[in-house]
Amino acid sequence: MEKEKFYLTTAIAYASGKPHFGNTYEVILTDAIARYKRQRGYDVHFLTGTDEHGQKIENLAKDKGITPKAYVDDVAGIIKGIWDKMGASYDHFIRTTDDYHETAVKNIFKKLYDKGDIYKDYYEGWYCTPCESFFTETQLVDGKCPDCGREVVKTKEEAYFFRTSKYADRLMQYFDEHPDFLQPEARKKEMVNNFLKPGLQDLCVSRTSFKWGVPVDFDPKHVIYVWIDALCNYITALGYDPANEVQPELFQKNWPADVHIIGKDIVRFHSIYWPIILMALGVELPTKIFAHPWFNFGADKMSKSRGNVVYADELADHFGVDGIRYYALSEMPYANDGSITYESVIARFNMDLANNLGNLVSRTVAMTKKYFDGVIPAPAGEEGPDAELKAAIATAVKELDACIDEYRVADGLEAVFTMLSRANKYIDETTPWILAKNEADKPRLGTVIYNLLEAIRVAAVLLAPFIPATTESIFAQIGTDVTSYESIATFGGLVAGTSVGEAKTLFARIDAEKFMAEREAERKAKEEAEKKPEKPEGIAQIAFDDFAKIELRSAQIIACEPIPKAKKLLKLQVDLGYEKRQVVSGIAKYYTPEQLVGKKIVLVANLAPVKLCGVESAGMLLASGEETVRVIFLDEATPLGERIH
């Protein structure tokens, strides 16, 4: 039987810099949905990637003194590395600098132009460089970008425009006929009331004030507006190109997308401009657009300028990949913004993962080993709270399915952890340690242990899309390979008579006070390292002729030893190439002789000889710092005795 397809996408990440935790949440969410659908038997195609064109990137590359392509190659590698570290199981990673994508975008633009949906005119209005977005005077909020709140610049340039107004009524009708097209509902109301009902203006779709973009073939001084370029990735990644007489099998199989998962800040482009582009191309619209909220740092929006940005890969170094995946998925509400702080991550990690899940698994595996030599016992009837535990398991299965199908992931995970709480309570109710004291209670004890192991197995199956590495460890610990979704349709899939595996700690409880103290120490160390030195005051200037009297020469340290009774001093023998000298330097606190021998240094070669602690010194080596002294070392290839200017 052929599997039903499921095509889902993230918004492609803008390759301007390293994505923060809020950006990474989207790929974690999409990956969880992709894994969930694969587990349920769908033929999944999961697309993600990077958006790499635009004025902002051109400016950033210029500031670094490199080409835009070199800049995005570096950032795309960083983004892909984070996606991979977080376990993203994508099927394709597209870059908008990929040749096939750029070719298809040029052909899409040409097709729209040829059919009269794109025309040339002049654009005059307000432009937000970070968002790559144009706005009218009335769309600005307090004179600033309505999306990001930053400054906008007045722009006037020749440009091509897309007749979005031509399709406004058709799009409004589509919204009416497909009430679930854009979710959550509040996002749809915002788009209809703020953009469609007031009257949709034609969209500027090219620029001439910068060059980093896909050029318009028939008018090369224009580059195609980054949002046209970026949005089309959802079809070009499947091989779509209007120049094809027949679209490739991958496109025919997977399009339309079952869901575009995006952030709430780019809803307008995805729910208004993207459907209109598809209408103009004669391509079917995606089935659903789900616009998730943002992750804030505490109550504030994450911002590098505010210094409150956290990164998923760095968090994973402290809490593990699954620890961060779970936090992201369990803490983000369906429609309202989520929040992250170190304190909240630790609290949820300890409560849900270490206590509720981890402790349940370790206790149950330990009791199986202690009471049944590690062999899974067969259940013997049902009594007491058994029925309630089984009912809780059935409820969790049902509620998770219903929640995930509606993209209410946090609610679905809450249902599973409610069931795990019920399993922990079941231990307290059945008191296995008391049952183990009486041989007559052994069958009942076996039932209790089996029910607990089965509850853990079902929970692991349900949690596999969300914390995959952890659930693999759980399956190994309870000694089962019965891990399919079909196996949890009824209670009792765990095979009695098999042995459990080795018990391992899934999540070690974190000491919040110690953790926060370590982070504070790291913050202070970083702050100190980044602190700009104060401008020295009151230092007398010298004439150039005075400075020219100082003769700096390259030299190599050929021997070094401490000076007895002089803790701060080292006696150095240095080779200038044309002669050897002895130099005394107060660097014993910072360097051992072994660290210095063989190094090339800068020597003040015409310093009058002096005696320090009775030892003659003919010169001075250059070093920086006061509290910490750092000797200035030269490249190994520097010739000896070379004049340093």
Task: Note the pLDDT tens digit of each residue in 144-193.
Answer: 888 788 888 888 789 999 999 999 999 999 999 999 999 999 999 999 99
Strand, coil or helix: 431? coil
Using a pLDDT cut of 70, give the percent of the chain over it.
98
- Look at residue 308 and tell me whether its pLDDT is greater than 80: no
Per-residue pLDDT of 587-628, as tens digits, reads 888 888 888 999 999 999 998 999 888 889 999 989 987 777
Residues 6+ apart with CB under 8 A from 232: 101, 104, 105, 108, 277
pLDDT of 539 reads 65
Strand, coil or helix: 643? strand
Round to whole Å and give the CA distance between 525 and 531: 10
Give the phi and the psi of residue 503 in degrees, each rounded to 5: -75, 135
- Look at residue 406 and tell me whether its pLDDT is greater than 90: yes
CATH architecture of 544-644: Beta Barrel (2.40)
* 8 A C-beta contact, residue 465 and residue 487: no
Per-residue pLDDT of 183-232, as tens digits, reads 999 999 999 999 999 989 899 999 998 999 999 999 999 999 888 999 99
Residues 6+ apart with CB under 8 A from 494: 376, 450, 453, 454, 457, 478, 480, 482
* 8 A C-beta contact, residue 19 and residue 177: no
* 8 A C-beta contact, residue 345 and residue 297: no
* 8 A C-beta contact, residue 589 and residue 566: no
- Look at residue 327 and tell me whether its pLDDT is greater than 80: yes
Return the bridge partners of 572, or none. 560, 583
Pairing status of strand 643-644 against strand 552-563 = antiparallel
Domain boundaries, the chain: 341-488, 544-644
The pair of structure tokens assigned to 635 is: 């490249």
- Look at residue 45 and tell me whether its pLDDT is greater than 90: yes
Round to whole Å and give the CA distance between 352 and 347: 8
Domain 341-488 bears CATH identifier 1.10.730.10:
yes
Topology agreement, domain 341-488 and domain 544-644: no
Query: Mean per-residue pLDDT for 285-293?
Result: 97
Pairing status of strand 133-135 against strand 615-617 = unpaired
Query: Mean per-residue pLDDT for 572-590?
Result: 91
Report field, pTM of the whole predicted structure over 0.85 = no
